[in-house]
Structure 1
Amino acid sequence: MNLYSEHYVSEKCERFVTKIWCLDNSTGQTLIENKLVLPNGCFNLAIINGNFIEVHTSKKKYEMNEGFYFCSQMTNKVLVNIQPETKVTIIQLHAWTLSMFPNYDLSDFSDSIIKVDSKELPFSTKTDADLNSDISLLLNIVNSYFEELNTANPNKNLVEKICEIIKHHDEEISVSEIGKILDLSQRLLQIKFKTATGLTIKKYIQILKFRKSVDQMLTMSQEKLSLTDVALYNKYFDQSHFIKKFKDVTKTTPKMFNSSLYFLSQKR
């Protein structure tokens, strides 16, 4: 059984959805425990089938039985225990995707999970409890909905523009510089961004830099990089600064980091 798998959406859908990934213990008879997930600057819509999973965020422990769950932005590592005969399918949404639905105020919603009624989902008319059993059906539904959303909204909104600028500058830009590019006040940028994501712009940039550094660490030996190289490449002041930020998220040092304990993205 392949516990972790990734499934990719259409090119137009990728504007809003990064991918769909599965944690599949549906045929397993033993508990999968103490697996870890790192923050990545995305929201997640989780679909649980079978028994239940336990998720420990920096705020509390959640027991998630069968159903649909919205997972907010995470700022620290998350611990996951998957019961036997349980499958988790996760639709990973970009940071700006929820800003397309202005009725959501996520200002104070981070490191948290809530259960949602499937009828509340934008594509609710096509979802049911058995949806998770067929990944191709889920991909078709997600592609169809978000491709239509893409067509209906050809222009980027403010939150998407902010994220695009951050990416264009390789996560090395200040809020004041973003404000100058968009000709808007820092206060307005911060309010709009936190309402849509639950994060400050600075925290979002820190998360993206951290994930890039982890990806580099995993290929350090092949690319003959040192820890100092990784730190400087990702614009940390020095190796000590990088280690401190790394410990803030993982509670361990880069040298003690064990990638086998984590669910990490596959290389495409």
Structure 2
Amino acid sequence: MNLYSEYYVSKESERFVNKIWCLDNSIGENLIENKLVLPNGCFNLAIVSGNAIEVHTSKSKYEMNEGFYFCSQMTNKVLVNIQPKTKVTIIQLHGWTLSMFPNYELSNFTDSIIKLNSAELPFKTKIETGLNSDILELLNTINDYFEELNHTNPSKNTIEKICELIKLYKEEVTVSEIGNSLNSSQRSLQIKFKIATGLTIKNYIQILKFRKSVDQMVNSDLEKLKLTDVALYNKYFDQSHFIKKFKDVTKTTPKMFNSDLYFLSKKR
């Protein structure tokens, strides 16, 4: 049994969905504890099957039994304990995806999780929560919904444009430069972005830059790749600045970072 696995949506759905990932302890007899997840600039829709998981964010502890949960943007590492006979399937939504649903006001919603009623889900097909639920059926449901959303919304809104510019400039762009590119005031952009994501634009950029640094460390030989190189490559002021930002999120230094404790993205 693979505890961690990833699944990918269609090309059209990728505009809104980064991927689907699973934490599967469905045939396990023991508690899996003290596993960690890092922030990555995405929202998560979690489907808990079987018994329960326990999640500790920087704000609170959540006991999540079988059902549906919406997870906000995370700004610090998250600790996860997975009970035996439990599976968690997570639909990872891009930072701008929730801006397609203007009824949601997320400006004060970070590092938090809320339980959803199945009736609150927008999908036309009912999503099963049982341990034997089929990942392929879930992929079809997700693709059907987000492909239609893509067709009915061909134009990008302001939040998606902001995120696109951040990606285009590889996280090296200021709010002022984004405002100039979009012909909009910094204040207006900041307000819209905070409502749609719960983060400031600067916070979002910092999270993406941090996560890129971690992925670079994990996918490289850190003995050969000096921390100074990682810091400079990702445009930190210097190694000390990089170490400080790293400790802010992980509570440890890059040299002491143990990737085996974390659920980290597979290299695609």
User: How many angstroms apart in 1 are the aligned matches of 2:129 and 2:47?
Assistant: 9
Residue 133 of structure 1, CA deviation: 1.6
> What secondary structure is seen at the aligned counterpart in 2 of 1:220?
coil
- Kept in 1, the 8 Å contact 2:50–2:131? The answer is no
- 1:197-236 alignment, distance < 5 Å: 197-221=197-221, 224-236=224-236
Give the counterpart letter for 1:139 in structure 2: L
- 1:62 matched to 2:54? The reply is no
Report the identity percentage: 79
Contact kept? 1:89, 1:132, Cα under 8 Å? no
1:17 partner letter? V
Corresponding residue of 2:33: 33
Q: CA deviation at 1:88?
A: 0.2
Question: Does 2:47 match 1:47?
Answer: yes
Q: TM-score, normalised by structure 1?
A: 0.98
Moved more, 123-132 or 181-190: 123-132
Alignment of 1:89-108 (within 5 A): 89-108=89-108
How far 1:125 sits from its partner (Å)? 4.2
Q: d(CA) in 2 for partners of 1:223 and 1:98?
A: 40
The equivalent of 1:115 in structure 2 is: 115
SS at match of 1:240: helix
| Superposed displacement of residue 9, structure 1 | 0.3
Show the 5 A alignment for 1:126-145.
126-130=126-130, 133-145=133-145
Could you tell me which residue of structure 1 aligns to residue 24 of structure 2? 24
TM-score under structure 2 normalisation? Answer: 0.98
SS at match of 1:106: coil
**Cα deviation, residue 225, structure 1:** 1.9
Cα RMSD over matched residues? 1.2
Please give the per-residue CA displacement for 1:176-195, whole angstroms capped at 9, x wherever unaligned: 11001101000000000000
Q: Does residue 1:86 correspond to 2:101, yes or no?
A: no
Classify 1:223/1:169 alpha carbon distance in 2 versus 1 (closer, same or farther; 3 Å): farther
- Partner residue, 1:193: 193
User: Structure 1: which amino acid aligns with 2:57?
Assistant: T
Give the residue type in structure 2 aligned to 1:109: F
- Confirm or deny: 8 A CA contact 1:54 1:80 kept in the other structure: yes
Deviation, 1:129, is 3.2
Bigger shift: 224-233 or 53-62?
A: 224-233
User: Residue 76 of structure 2 aligns with which residue?
Assistant: 76
* Cross-structure match for 1:151: 151
Q: Match of 1:133, SS?
A: coil
Does the CA contact (< 8 Å) of 1:108 and 1:198 recur in 2? yes
How has the CA–CA distance of structure 1 residues 97 and 78 changed in structure 2, closer, same or farther, with 3 Å as cutoff?
A: same
Quote the offset at 1:71 in angstroms.
Answer: 0.1
- State the secondary structure of the residue aligned to 2:180: helix
Partner SS for 2:263: coil
Residue matched to 1:180: 180
8 Å CA contact 1:58, 1:111 repeated in 2: yes
**C-alpha distance in 1, partners of 2:131/2:192?**
34
Residues 181 and 157 of structure 1: is their aligned pair in 2 closer, same or farther, counting only changes over 3 Å? same
Letter in 1 for 2:100: M
Q: Give the deviation of 1:130 after TM superposition.
A: 3.3
Question: Which residue identity lines up with residue 134 of structure 1 in the other structure?
Answer: D
- Looking at structure 2, the residues matched to 113 and 130 of structure 1 have their Cα atoms a distance apart, in angstroms, of 21
| Cα deviation digits, residues 155-207 of structure 1 (max 9, x gap) | 00000000000000000011011001101000000000000000000000000
Give the residue type in structure 1 aligned to 2:106.
Answer: L
The yes-or-no answer on 1:11 pairing with 2:47 is no
Q: CA deviation at 1:219?
A: 2.8
Q: Distance in 1 between matches of 2:219 and 2:104?
A: 39
Q: Which runs of 5+ in 2 are unaligned?
A: none
C-alpha spacing 1:131/1:35, structure 2 compared with 1 (3 Å): closer
Q: Please tell me the residue identity of whatever aligns with 1:133.
A: S
Q: Distance in 2 between matches of 1:196 and 1:17?
A: 16
Q: Which moved more, 1:17-26 or 1:223-232?
A: 223-232
**Would the aligned equivalents of 2:45 and 2:92 in 1 still touch at CA under 8 Å?**
yes
Between the aligned partners of 2:168 and 2:247, the Cα distance in structure 1 is 27
State the match for 1:267 in structure 2.
Answer: 267
CA deviation after TM superposition for structure 1 residue 222, in Å: 7.8
